[in-house]
Amino acid sequence: MSGMRPLFLPSLLLASFLLLQPHSVSGATGRQNANTPAAATAGLHPVIIELFTSEGCSTCPPADVLIQKLDANQPIDGAQLIVMSEHVNYWDHDGWKDPNSSDLLTARQGDYEASLRQGEPYTPQIIVDGTKEVRIDNPRQIEDVLRAAQTVPKIPMRIGEVTIDGGVLKTHIETDANSSKQGAEIYLAVAIGHVESQVLHGENGGKHLVHVAVVQELTKIGKLPKGKTFSQDVQVKLKAGTDPANLRVIAFVQEYGLGKMLGAAMRKPNGPKGAPASQ
């Protein structure tokens, strides 16, 4: 698997898109990101944005910045943009081993190439709700795809109280009935909210990179057949040294074969035992 990537051209339209201020959302406070209380996001439609990236790829930093802007500014009315940075490992042989890369996420991107009937995997690649690929050099397309995704009905999904005890994350995941014509699988992702890295070698050697919602664990926790609901306690072993205050828990329902996203939710873990919940 090689690291092919498209050529990105400077764009004034892209620059203006990155600088978009958050819109006012009916029933919410306007700006809503990973730290926004659940009450402010309850009426919003979740949209999953997956970025396949690598610290060894010189064209990836602009995509990392784009994802950060979408996460922070939430520029689409009525949508909760849930971003996930998924670091692949096929750049690790070019002078710099990405500390967040994994075989699992690399395989996930490869499976997408099959489901989307695309060619060889490349970075950076952005996939919206499991079905639409967008290009960082086409901000109009990005906005159109995100606005369209916001209008698609989703299965309501809830993440219960999240606690961490002895390095094990515990929570409860539940959904309403699957009204889709397709069966689906339910995934739980654990992501680090903010990551900084000083790259010493490779194509980005000497650069200080910043990432958002960097996926550390991605676990398939169950199935959601047509017409059925889901309710289950979940436990995930965290990597040693993981900071609970810098985590996001993301759950999503996806049609079999890495198809369409049918539902999603995000929540942050609680603080120390007995502390108020953070959502």
| CATH 3.90.1300.10 given to domain 31-267 | no
Each residue's pLDDT tens digit, 28-59:
333 455 555 454 566 899 999 999 999 999 99
247 touches 167 (CB < 8 A): no
Each residue's pLDDT tens digit, 170-197:
999 999 999 999 999 999 999 999 999 9
In this model, does residue 264 exceed pLDDT 80? yes
Give the whole-angstrom CA distance, residue 88 versus residue 169.
24
Each residue's pLDDT tens digit, 7-34:
343 334 444 555 543 333 333 333 455 5
46 touches 74 (CB < 8 A): no
Give the whole-angstrom CA distance, residue 244 versus residue 223.
27
pLDDT value, residue 274: 34
pTM of the full structure: 0.86
Give the whole-angstrom CA distance, residue 171 versus residue 236.
9
